[in-house]
Amino acid sequence: MAFRKRIATTERSRAEIVSDSLPIGMHIAGAWAWRILAMLAVLGVVVFLVMQLRLLVIPLMVAVLIAALLVPFCNWLQSHRWPKGLAVAVSELGLIAVVAALVYLVITQVAEGVPSLQTKALERYDDLKTWLLESPLHLTEADINGYVQAAVESIQRDSQFIISGATSLGASAGHFITGALLALFATLFMLIDGRSIWHWVVRVFPRRARPAIMGGGQAGWVTLTNFVKVQIFVAFVDAVGIGIGAAILQLPLVIPIAVAVFLGSFVPIIGALVSGALAVLVALLYYDIWIALIMLGIVLLVQQIEGHVLQPLIMGSAVKVHPLAVVLAVAGGGMLAGIPGTLFAVPVIATLNVIVKYIASGQWRTNPHPQLKDVIADA
């Protein structure tokens, strides 16, 4: 026993000698390294679980965004002596009615414009074919027809992939309907009993951490509510501006273009480019390159007004995120979760930014119920 104790003492002495021989910087770097690795491991597990449960997580996050929009309106109705049940019903049914009206307008407009769009597309194909025949490429009509025939045969050979893609589309449609119903169901309960749900979540944490979690959650909720309201207003201004420009140029499908711009504005950078390209493409199909360039100028003008006037003036500093962080967040969200990832990237980053600042600053000790003015002052 004494021999073993002497060996253990010797080994401990060697470890202490090795530890003492290392510079203080190595000790600090090692302490930081294992903590960072532990945090990354936890983050990796969280991301893995989110990806595995994405059919549940995405509707829940959509419900949170919808609730951030509807809760202030529902509370406003209750403050004007509306019964809570009626206020909740009007809020959710009103949202459903607005979305249904937009979908109906888009479907009817597209149904009316598709025949004309097909005709214009064929005309532009003939123009392109004529240009290729007269171009320095020295292509003949037989060459062009051969390329078209080869493309058709390639599609026919890959028909199995098309069939499987159609099957996948059907499954995706089923998932979309299920997710939409789940999002509406979750939104309903958030409107009815959202505060109690949040209190239950807070009680999961240790008792000493609950004040900080409660205050941080309220700061994040205030930020998210402000972000959603402002983002909807900015998207509305974009849609109206580009829609008016398309109407002045007498483009068809004005309403679908405006709706596409409105929805695309919720995805920073990428959404604006895609929706603007759609308007320019329609102008190019129906008219000529000059009208398309004018439409491009209108799109760029509206985007510049949004980026340099609306965003800084209305958004303020409450949810201010550096442009580099926005680009990286959108790119990372797109790689991890596709379109939903690009949609949720910025509100998640903005909300987490405010929560971390609030908790790290210790404001939860002196200001346990932060309001929007407190969040703006902290940002």
What pLDDT, on the 0 to 100 scale, is given for residue 166? 40
Percent of the chain past pLDDT 90, that is, above it, reads: 1
What pLDDT, on the 0 to 100 scale, is given for residue 19? 61
Per-residue confidence at 20, pLDDT binned at 50, 70, 90? low
Percent of the chain past pLDDT 70, that is, above it, reads: 72
Contacts of 49 (CB under 8 A, 6+ apart): none
What pLDDT, on the 0 to 100 scale, is given for residue 9? 53
Section 34-51 average pLDDT: 83
Section 276-288 average pLDDT: 80
Q: Which of the residue ranges 19-28, 105-114, 221-230 would you say has the lowest mean pLDDT?
A: 19-28
**Residue that wins the pLDDT comparison between 161 and 280:** 280
Q: Does position 202 have pLDDT exceeding 60, yes or no?
A: yes
Per-residue confidence at 3, pLDDT binned at 50, 70, 90? very low
CA quadruple 249, 252, 254, 257: dihedral sign: negative
Per-residue confidence at 226, pLDDT binned at 50, 70, 90? confident
Average pLDDT, the chain: 77
What pLDDT, on the 0 to 100 scale, is given for residue 168? 41
Section 245-262 average pLDDT: 84
Task: List, for residues 156-199, the tens digit of each pLDDT value.
Answer: 555 444 444 444 434 466 777 888 888 888 888 888 888 888 88
Cα distances (angstroms) measured from residue 56 to each of 115, 180, 190, 334, 379: 39, 11, 16, 18, 32
Per-residue confidence at 125, pLDDT binned at 50, 70, 90? low
What pLDDT, on the 0 to 100 scale, is given for residue 52? 79
Q: Does position 138 have pLDDT exceeding 50, yes or no?
A: yes
Section 351-361 average pLDDT: 85
Among residues 359, 357, 349, which one has the least CA distance to residue 377?
Answer: 357
Q: Does position 72 have pLDDT exceeding 50, yes or no?
A: yes
What pLDDT, on the 0 to 100 scale, is given for residue 278? 81
Determine the Cα–Cα distance for residues 362 and 367; give it in Å rounded to an integer.
Answer: 9
Q: Does position 107 have pLDDT exceeding 70, yes or no?
A: yes
Q: Does position 14 have pLDDT exceeding 80, yes or no?
A: no
Predicted TM-score (pTM) of the model is 0.73
Domain boundaries, the chain: 53-121+140-204, 208-379
Q: Where are the alpha helices (DSSP H) in the chain?
A: 2-21, 24-52, 54-79, 84-134, 141-157, 159-203, 210-248, 254-264, 270-286, 289-305, 323-361, 363-366, 372-378
What pLDDT, on the 0 to 100 scale, is given for residue 355? 86
CA quadruple 182, 342, 107, 234: dihedral sign: positive
